[in-house]
Structure 1
């Protein structure tokens, strides 16, 4: 794992699992994001990027909270190395889980109100409509961390109740509070992802690997086959038969279909799926 020192913005490689306390950022990717190469010796051009401004806001907040180390997916992974990228994506759920604090940066939320003050209805709608709640990668970043705090695009900390997050995402408050998903059915987890999107088709499968405790190689260019591979791995490792429940366009409700493997998460959209594992599906 490659961490960033919050005082010098220099990288620090951590071997094994002996992590120091660190903060971690959850955000949506925008234009002008940084790369690992950008931060080796940042030029004035790099420092003028919007991604650099975001990074400074993140490390400044981390220092305020007395964290010496921080992690952000834009520049703490050398994406020019396919081996490092594969290892990072397979480890990302664990990295978010092991973080001391996860800071959620809502780039499209822009208003000011006191930390203790209740937001106006329009402000609540702004939060609910944030892109952060519709992206594939942010699903695991919401569930895995032990502690989460939310910030506007001006780095003002805001309170977003778990009840509101649960209403927006359909994820039970218990899961948001504990991060425990072992007793949640496969179909229900797929439902959480069904309305989310990623820029690359393959990432809709890769972003779910940690949630299902799956490790598999990344094959960018395989398209929807990535989601097929993910389901095959889940079937291989799990007794949970709810993975065979999905919605056909002509069906009235969830049913077991002749073609058991689906090509996208959208086929799992339904509130009729079992939420927790039935007796025959538990290990």
Structure 2
């Protein structure tokens, strides 16, 4: 999935839990009408949506009614407030400029159905590709992730020396 998101020129996010009243026409009132629901949207709590947020070139958000709410860039302050992800990342700053620990922190408050997915959703974001071993548990998956990111870092240091 990471490669698909990486190759996507645009990602459309349908927020089924964000409603905009149809009678709202004033732009400021329109924004107030959905902003609270946007901040509370389940989409921001699911692990696999993290790469959908960070990886595509452009991300556009839509309400339940199909009304465009804005883009990752136009909503960067709100998204930063919800996720604590640095604004630079939301603007496209290279993920490799952030430590693996910091990238892992972006998923800390997100939820998954399977415990390993808490780690697996970070593989592409951390620049690591591992076989998925469901049943290994979150702790072992974290060890494999850290081991592979450290190995990749050592290999990169040898190549740049």
| TM-score, with structure 2 as normaliser | 0.83
Give the structure 1 partner of residue 44 of structure 2: 133
Deviation at 1:215, TM superposition (A): 0.8
Deviation readout 1:222-257 (Å, 9 max, x if unpaired)? 122222211221122125xxxxxxxxxxxxxxxxxx
RMSD: 2.2
> Which residue is equivalent to 2:59?
148
Match of 1:98 in 2: 7
Match of 1:233 among 128, 139, 148: 148
Q: What's the offset of the Cα at 1:151?
A: 0.7
The 1:179/1:145 distance shift into structure 2, 3 A limit, reads farther
The answer as to 2:118 corresponding to 1:204 is yes
- Structure 1 stretches of 4+ with a deviation exceeding 2 A read 112-118
What does residue range 225-264 of structure 1 map to in structure 2 within 5 Å?
Answer: 225-238=140-153
Q: Deviation of residue 116 (structure 1)?
A: 4.6
Q: Deviations over 1:127-164 (max 9, x none)?
A: 10101111111111111010111011222211261111
Once the two structures are TM-superposed, the CA of residue 94 in structure 1 deviates from its matched residue by 2.1
Pairwise mapping of residues 69-108 of structure 1 onto structure 2 (< 5 A)? 92-108=1-17
2:31 paired residue number? 119
C-alpha separation in 2, matches of 1:188 and 1:114: 41
Aligned partners of 1:142, 1:206: CA distance in 2, in Å?
Answer: 16
Among candidates 83, 89, 95, match of residue 181 of structure 1: 95
Partner of 2:83: 169
Tell me, which stretches of 5 or more residues in structure 2 are unaligned? 155-160
C-alpha displacement at 1:114, in angstroms?
5.2
Q: TM-score, normalized by length of structure 1?
A: 0.49
CA distance in 2, matches of 1:214, 1:94: 12
Specify whether residues 202 and 144 from structure 1 end up closer, same or farther in structure 2 by C-alpha distance, changes over 3 A only. same
CA contact (8 A) 1:146 1:179 kept: no
Change in Cα spacing, 1:124 to 1:228, as seen in structure 2 (3 Å) is same
Matched-pair contact (CA < 8 Å) for 1:212–1:234: yes
Paired with 2:26 and 2:114, the residues of 1 have a C-alpha distance of: 36
